[in-house]
Amino acid sequence: DAKTTQPPSMDCAEGRAANLPCNHSTISGNEYVYWYRQIHSQGPQYIIHGLKNNETNEMASLIITEDRKSSTLILPHATLRDTAVYYCIVRVEGGSNYKLTFGKGTLLTVNP
Amino acid sequence: EPEVTQTPSHQVTQMGQEVILRCVPISNHLYFYWYRQILGQKVEFLVSFYNNEISEKSEIFDDQFSVERPDGSNFTLKIRSTKLEDSAMYFCASSEVRVGKPQHFGDGTRLSIL
């Protein structure tokens, strides 16, 4: 699986958009980008994933650059409950690979 | 919304004892996983399970560990002879299919070895 790089921490004001970057410059054609978050040692919560097109769901939007070497997770209106560690994971789909490989992620702190 | 449930939420066990952690995956999911997270460290993959057999396992998943799907709803992780370093949060996850679909996680079992 391609390596990802995320900033260790970010701050965001409540009600503003939170934009979390992820660099995955060695991504290959069959690798998806997944975003999860973990709120205070709860189980990782799935947010969104994509291959090459931008994606949006009820939680967030995922913007993937055209060369697929980086992506941004956007939480459009951050709330205090969005304070969590956010993980960007790149995973090869298929073959003998089943696992998600978690890094250290970005600690997003939403401030009142 | 369907969710993965894990029991117990906290398990305290003496070193050397056997422990079984239980999970009920989402009902139409076919792939099952265990991960663990030692306090302050990353979430680490242990094992994946499909069609009643292990499909992938990590170096952590040695002979002390085993997994089983004893019936149509439960998925268990057994640690035969626990060590102090097995103290961690253990997360179960499941996915509908393997390609292009996310894994959904339970809230974990905190295992404390004394």
pLDDT (0 to 100) of residue B25? 96
pLDDT (0 to 100) of residue A1? 65
pLDDT (0 to 100) of residue A100? 93
Instruction: For residue range B76-99, list pLDDT tens digits in order.
Output: 999 999 999 999 999 999 999 877
pLDDT (0 to 100) of residue B100? 81
Q: Which amino acid is at A101?
A: T
Instruction: For residue range A25-45, list pLDDT tens digits in order.
Output: 999 888 999 999 999 879 999
Nearest to B45 among A46, A96, A101 (CB): A101
- Residue among B36, B35, B72 nearest B52 (CA): B72
Q: Which amino acid is at A99?
A: K
Q: Which amino acid is at B64?
A: Q
Q: Do A93 and B100 count as a contact with CB atoms less than 8 A apart?
A: yes
Residue B45: closest C-alpha in chain A: A99
Contact in structure between A35 and A54 (CB atoms under 8 Å): no
Residue A103: closest C-alpha in chain B: B42
Grouping H, G, I as helix, E, B as strand and the rest as coil, residue A25 is coil
What is the pLDDT averaged over residues A80-109?
Answer: 91
Instruction: For residue range B31-52, list pLDDT tens digits in order.
Output: 999 999 999 999 999 999 999 9
